[in-house]
Amino acid sequence: MKTFGVMPLFLVLVLLTACDSYPRDIEGTRDRVVATKQLRVGYGQMPADQRALAERFVARVASSSGAQSNPALPTGSDEALFALLENGDLDLVMAEVASDSPWLSDMAITEPMRRRVAGKRELGLSAVVRNGENRWIMVLEKQLRDMQAGP
């Protein structure tokens, strides 16, 4: 009954959840943000009210990680920002992503915090990070839910 060999492993995993280090990021984004206290954010082009909401979200994420968001990074086209993100030059991109965007499979995109219709497409204001940064994504999702639940 080799299956029972998995049981000790399972117990270790249960203990791991208690110490907040599981799951880990593949590229270590969250640890880097906490260690350097710098959150490198890129903002895509969006209307002012969306931008204000995005900045409020970023402020929450930064404060929960004991970091400051870096405002010196330029805004650019969404494509350029995603390329920087993919390369590890950004930790987070706030962008309006279409529900059928080809980036959906290449990036990890949170549930939209607000949606609007542009032409025939629906755009959702989302936090976009690199795929596989599972701890970092959990941090963002938690802040998103908290923001939507409360003030």
Contacting positions for other proteins (CB under 8 A): 1-3, 6, 9-10, 13, 16-17, 22-28, 108, 110, 130-134, 137-138, 141-142, 145
Q: Which of 74, 75, 82, 77 is nearest to 105 (CA)?
A: 82
CA pair distance 151, 146, nearest whole angstrom: 8
Cβ proximity to other proteins, 13 vs 118, nearer residue: 13
CA pair distance 15, 139, nearest whole angstrom: 20
Cβ proximity to other proteins, 122 vs 141, nearer residue: 141
Q: How far is the CB of 151 from other proteins (least distance, A)?
A: 17
Q: How far is the CB of 105 from other proteins (least distance, A)?
A: 9
Cβ proximity to other proteins, 22 vs 70, nearer residue: 22
Q: How far is the CB of 126 from other proteins (least distance, A)?
A: 12
